Structure 1
Amino acid sequence: MVLSIAFSLPTQARIIRIEITSVQSPTFEGKAFGRVGAYEKLRGKAYGELDPTSPPNALITDIALAPRNGKGMVAYVMDIYILKPIDLSKGNHKLFLEINNRGGKLVGGFNKSSGGNDPTTAAQAGEGFLMNKGYTLALNGWDCSAPPANNNLTISVPVAQNADGSSITGPSYEYISFDNATSLSYSLAYPAATLDQSKATLTVRDRLGDAPSVIPANGWEYTNDKTIRLLPAGTSFRQSAIYEFHYTAKNPVVAGIGFAATRDFVSFLRYATTDDFGNRNPLANDIQYTFSYSVSQPARYVNDFQTLGFNADEQNRRVLDGIENWLGGASGIALNYRFAQPSRTERNRQNHLYPEGVFPFAYPVLTDPLTGRTAGRLARCTASNTCPKVFEINSSNEYWVKAASLLHTDSQGQDLPDPDNVRFYLVAGAQHGTGNATSKGICQQFQNPTNAEPTLRALFMALDAWVTKGVAPPASQVPRQSTKTAALAVPQPGSQTGAVPQAALGWPTLPGVTYTGLVTTRYLLDFGPSFDQGLLTTFPTSVAGRPSYVNFVSKVDKDGNEVAGIRLPPVAVPIATTTGWALRRSEYGENDGCEGSGQYIPFNMTKAERLLANDPRLSVQERYQTHEDYVEAVRKSVQKLVEQRFLLAEDAEAYVKAAQESKM
């Protein structure tokens, strides 16, 4: 069944047609969610048009060079996905927009379920946290690089062309690293404009601090205009080595349309009533408040969505009322650039030299002493009176590997007061996501299992209350210079990273644990004179001699656990040291950063064991004389977090139950 619905709005950019290609009513095997009842699932495509001369759209890089239809508009098409109460009158009239990650859906954890990329069964609905409260969930494609497989949400945007119809060419760059010894080829993000190897450079180094070596032309080749391989044929890329490929590419897509697509989709769902043919919007006259939820890459997307002014639709109406960003750091996303690669993310050993960590980082309007530019994430929404309420929530990993402190400081690392509409939270001691405490992966220590989802749920309820009822949110919880909880990162001359000195952090010397202080430093990179227009006319080859921004992490206590931020029971009532940083083990680039991983370094159980190991941290038995003492300490910890609105009562009880069932 295909339902074609074209939506009528004035002549501004808009969604002009939606095809609902499948309807599952009810979904989740008919499971009812409290008084809200059953849900239905709509899947399909949305077709949009943009006026490239309209000021809100004109800032999209290369939109003026995109092909136009007979109406002079630039067209695009994206996948859409809606989960709604069958009876909308029983819902809460609020839209929960999940900004998908590289096409994938990540809200499963929020609902305490396994989720999946097309949740259909009752089990995949989990406890149905959002559905029990009556939210309508919606997602749309926005990332032109998202792979189309596995029910991913994708978007199709046009290729920019020169005025005479010829291909646009320009510099492009690929950071290549495989953590295996079997990869034989590499696919480029864009086709090469020429297969002349003298117009490209491939380098390699084993560790980030090594000098790159140029691989001669007889050591690699193009197998076609989008693939390279090493020679002789059958040679694999060295495991965990860093290869960098500079070449001339062609046919850039107008990737920044992905911002307008989300703007216009939410605006339609929120404000449109009928289409050009009189058919109704399936959510017509229902949505009273709109929220977004983002994890990692899409949180960086939402940062730039705000900076570029896309929270105002073309009729100057607010698009999103509330934003919960998780794991975005102080970064944007390399989307609104020629030859964009939005799937990239920079960490202290990953995807360097892309335009991700660029000013502005913070929300207030500031003047950057390194560039002389004046900007802020709030500048455009303040001018249009469309600013949302925002929670920026980050793990410790974002402070160590994505310079998250720049969200709430100026470019020189000085604390800024919170904007009226923004709050900042660090989940102390957490890695990027939830790790497996029984696996080291490519890292030296076990990964960090701290799960932030209970706090994300509690904070989302606080955000809802702030938006809909004006209830003041919990105060920000982050490291600050003013509270002496900040340990400054020090740039390392000639290196692409910095370091936090051990003494400044307060890190204890632990047996079998290497500490280097490796931390990401944001440098002012040179992408050429047209960078402000989204045109990268050159790519830097290193950060040597480049000025840097000041960033910091949270200091730690005598156990190595962070003192700032929201201290969940694994930090407040510890049985281990948990960190947001980790280092690679020998066969994967020893002592380089282990990307998004953290560490789980258990305490010894007894005093005798810790003395034998020469471990300065108190043992579990020295901390908690009995099992009941440990359970009571957890109970007091979660009670405080509930009072502070960082945990919901039901999630607090789950911590207590886990403590009771533990062997501590």
Structure 2
Amino acid sequence: MAVTKLEINSRSPFAQGQPFGDTGGYEQIDGTVYFAVDPGHPANEPIADLKLATRDASGMVTFSSDFRILQPTDPSKGNRSVFFDILNRGKAPALRNFNNAPEVAPDAPMDPGNGFLMRYGYTVVWCGWQCDVPDLPGVMRINVPDAVTAEGPISGEVVVTFHPNTPTQVQYLSDRSHRPYPANKLEDWDSVLTVQEHEDAPEEIIPREQWAFARIEGDRVAPDARHIYMAAGFVPGKVYQVNYTTTGAPIVGLGMLATRDMMSFLRHGSTEQDNPCAGYVDRAHSFGVSQSGRFLRHFLYLGMNEDESGRTVFDGLIPHVGGGKRGEFNHRFAQPSSQASRSPNSLFPFSDTDQTDPETGRTDGLMRRLAAKGKVPKVMYINTPSEYWGGHGSLLHTDLTAARDLDLLDSVRIYMVGGAQHANGSLPLTDFDPGDDIRTQQLFNCLDYRAVLRAALVNLDRWAKTGQEAPPSRYPRLSDGTAVTPGDASASFRAIPGVNPPVPLRRFTRLDFGPDPGVPTNVPPVVGNPYPSLVSAVDSDG
């Protein structure tokens, strides 16, 4: 078993000992979990650069993660199901999405909200999987080794994409204040900065003498390998990419193994191994939202639902608002927080079943590895129209020419929450997002779709426990005319006074990073032809 030690740092009553119906009170367990994996084991083969990690005396690659468990104080009163919540940028989204809990600071006591997960008896688990999260109190992370060669640390090219929402002269070289890859040479004249009017527009190179690796410190410009500075300023709404050389390649894909092996340990580890869940787990499900929903899609693609002993890890998954994308979760110099379109976020395949790309001739499917092993879990993909307009959503269930609907696997459901936005809606109505400091053309959507998530989990657990099938899929289809092109849907929106859809419409293109996407050699990638995109049809009211 890949978990070598579960170190418990604290145990305390959750929510000050508040009882949750028949389940009673809950206990919060915090600590560090230590792993050792065999870089030569076939189950670990998909992890990029794993064989370049430093090994211990036994030939294993070691790493560690923060973890948290919420478990019934009397485990016998639980429902024998683990709800494994995939952290989103080091933060725990489950209580907000299932318990209607308010958002709190990562280091503040967790708010139980309406207690849904506890009243149903779930053991809730979090485990750090992202190595570059900001160094903030309460944010959970994984600590991983770097890939190295006989010559030492690895150097290579990295591309950082940013879209400023307000005028600024300085940009941190990461997404959302995550740990950046520092530039090797501040005066590297081979580094390139480009600007685009939008993500699909031609790239214009900004002359090297107009920008620098630097930040503003008081009244002076100070050289800094983790910032980029341009005296003329970065313009809101435009897309910038800086391509430069860095050194130090953390093995980002170990986050996949941490997720797999932590869950496997909780299912199969013994009390003698300090497993607090020993003897109380029959089923395990995982949930991810947005970034972490894409993480689960990548988890499936890499075949991670089988541990080193050949055992099933998760019975069911709910990748929520992940669209058809994956992420920067398993390649050299990956940036897991990045949402850039021209990145490994947007690589083929998109559907569970095998398809052949008519442009490249490549055949693949998201579930190919797991189907070959007989380890395909039950999956509920839940999306909103946002993931269809901006996240490859239709490619989950249509072919690569947008000519026909695909048949889904028997163990898969796809649900689209009509009329919803990417993030859960709320009141009062507003057109301002303080998180991104932007004002929108229309008011933000107020639809609260969390009841859908609760129903999905209840149906998923019942499906896994009793075999009672989940409700049939509901999503836009070509066969009944509910899936249309973005251009057709935009025409309907333009007929509504005061509504002006963006121009041009977003596209996602084929990207060539080289023969091994885990170790990209085309940086930035070679851009090919776009994939087709479909969205839901709308009526005269939009």
TM score, norm. by length of structure 2:
0.91
The answer on 1:159 being equivalent to 2:142 is no
Name the CA distance, whole Å, in 1 between partners of 2:372 and 2:243.
40
Conservation of the 8 A alpha-carbon contact between 2:15 and 2:112: yes
1:84-130 per-residue CA deviation (whole Å, 9 max, x = no partner) reads 001001111110000010001111231122153559769x2121001
**Structure with higher strand content:** 2
What secondary structure sits across from 1:547 in the alignment? strand
Residues 344-383 of structure 1 mapped to structure 2, 5 A cutoff? 344-345=338-339, 351-383=340-372
The answer on 1:557 being equivalent to 2:539 is yes
Partner residue of 1:112? 100
Residues 520-599 of structure 1 mapped to structure 2, 5 A cutoff? 520-531=506-517, 534-540=518-524, 543=527, 546-560=528-542
Partner residue of 1:412? 401
Residues 171-250 of structure 1 mapped to structure 2, 5 A cutoff? 171-182=157-168, 184-188=170-174, 189-208=180-199, 211-223=202-214, 226-232=225-231, 236-250=233-247
Partner residue of 2:52? 65
Conservation of the 8 A alpha-carbon contact between 2:324 and 2:394: yes
2:497 to 511, 535, 542: 511
Unaligned 5+ residue runs, structure 1?
1-8, 346-350, 490-498, 561-664
1:353-373 per-residue CA deviation (whole Å, 9 max, x = no partner) reads 111111110111222222222
Name the CA distance, whole Å, in 2 between partners of 1:231 and 1:88.
57
Partner residue of 2:449? 452
Which has the higher mean CA deviation after the structures are superposed, 194-203 or 550-559?
A: 194-203
**Cα offset for 1:501?**
6.0
Partner residue of 2:463? 466
Conservation of the 8 A alpha-carbon contact between 2:494 and 2:500: no
Name the CA distance, whole Å, in 1 between partners of 2:471 and 2:407.
15
Partner residue of 2:20? 33
**Cα offset for 1:62?**
0.6
What secondary structure sits across from 1:382 in the alignment? helix
Conservation of the 8 A alpha-carbon contact between 1:399 and 1:405: yes
Residues 67-82 of structure 1 mapped to structure 2, 5 A cutoff? 67-82=54-69
Letter aligned with residue 9 of structure 2? T
Name the CA distance, whole Å, in 2 between partners of 1:147 and 1:239.
24
Name the CA distance, whole Å, in 2 between partners of 1:60 and 1:45.
22
Q: Tell me: higher relative CO, structure 1 or 2? Use CA pairs within 8 A at least 6 residues apart.
A: 2
Change (3 A) 1:304 1:208: closer
Name the CA distance, whole Å, in 2 between partners of 1:201 and 1:435.
39
What secondary structure sits across from 1:23 in the alignment? strand
Rg larger for: 1
**Cα offset for 1:73?**
0.9
Name the CA distance, whole Å, in 1 between partners of 2:514 and 2:168.
36
**Cα offset for 1:285?**
0.9
Letter aligned with residue 521 of structure 1? R
Partner residue of 2:177? none
Conservation of the 8 A alpha-carbon contact between 1:367 and 1:375: yes
Partner residue of 2:412? 422
Letter aligned with residue 168 of structure 1? I
Which has the higher mean CA deviation after the structures are superposed, 278-287 or 222-231?
A: 222-231
Name the CA distance, whole Å, in 2 between partners of 1:422 and 1:157.
33
1:403 to 373, 392, 407: 392
**Cα offset for 1:425?**
0.6
What secondary structure sits across from 1:49 in the alignment? strand
Which has the higher mean CA deviation after the structures are superposed, 383-392 or 196-205?
A: 196-205
The answer on 1:320 being equivalent to 2:314 is yes
What secondary structure sits across from 2:520 in the alignment? coil
Change (3 A) 1:464 1:279: closer
Q: Percent identity?
A: 37
Name the CA distance, whole Å, in 2 between partners of 1:550 and 1:185.
33
**Cα offset for 1:266?**
0.1
Change (3 A) 1:187 1:372: same
Conservation of the 8 A alpha-carbon contact between 1:61 and 1:338: yes
Change (3 A) 1:50 1:248: same
Which has the higher mean CA deviation after the structures are superposed, 205-214 or 429-438?
A: 205-214
Letter aligned with residue 203 of structure 2? P
Partner residue of 1:391? 380
Conservation of the 8 A alpha-carbon contact between 1:304 and 1:332: yes
**Cα offset for 1:539?**
2.6
Name the CA distance, whole Å, in 2 between partners of 1:65 and 1:394.
37
The answer on 1:285 being equivalent to 2:279 is yes
- State the aligned residue count: 520
Name the CA distance, whole Å, in 2 between partners of 1:458 and 1:518.
37
Name the CA distance, whole Å, in 2 between partners of 1:181 and 1:508.
30
Unaligned 5+ residue runs, structure 2?
175-179, 215-222, 433-437
Conservation of the 8 A alpha-carbon contact between 1:353 and 1:539: no
Residues 475-486 of structure 1 mapped to structure 2, 5 A cutoff? 475-486=472-483
Name the CA distance, whole Å, in 1 between partners of 2:211 and 2:490.
42
Which has the higher mean CA deviation after the structures are superposed, 49-58 or 203-212?
A: 203-212
Change (3 A) 1:150 1:280: closer
What secondary structure sits across from 1:356 in the alignment? helix
Conservation of the 8 A alpha-carbon contact between 1:170 and 1:537: no
What secondary structure sits across from 2:157 in the alignment? strand
Name the CA distance, whole Å, in 2 between partners of 1:148 and 1:500.
45
1:540-577 per-residue CA deviation (whole Å, 9 max, x = no partner) reads 4774xx222222000001211xxxxxxxxxxxxxxxxx
What secondary structure sits across from 1:198 in the alignment? coil
Name the CA distance, whole Å, in 2 between partners of 1:363 and 1:208.
27
1:211-243 per-residue CA deviation (whole Å, 9 max, x = no partner) reads 4332223211223563233355xx643333322
2:337 to 338, 343, 347: 343
Change (3 A) 1:240 1:304: same
Residues 9-24 of structure 1 mapped to structure 2, 5 A cutoff? 9=1, 14-24=2-12
The answer on 1:54 being equivalent to 2:45 is no
Change (3 A) 1:211 1:381: closer
CA RMSD of aligned residues (A): 2.0
Change (3 A) 1:412 1:133: same
Name the CA distance, whole Å, in 2 between partners of 1:34 and 1:397.
37
**Cα offset for 1:209?**
6.0
Partner residue of 1:438? 430
Letter aligned with residue 553 of structure 1? V
**Cα offset for 1:32?**
0.4
Name the CA distance, whole Å, in 1 between partners of 2:374 and 2:419.
37
Name the CA distance, whole Å, in 2 between partners of 1:145 and 1:537.
22
**Cα offset for 1:307?**
1.0
**Cα offset for 1:169?**
1.7
Change (3 A) 1:216 1:228: farther
Partner residue of 1:140? 127
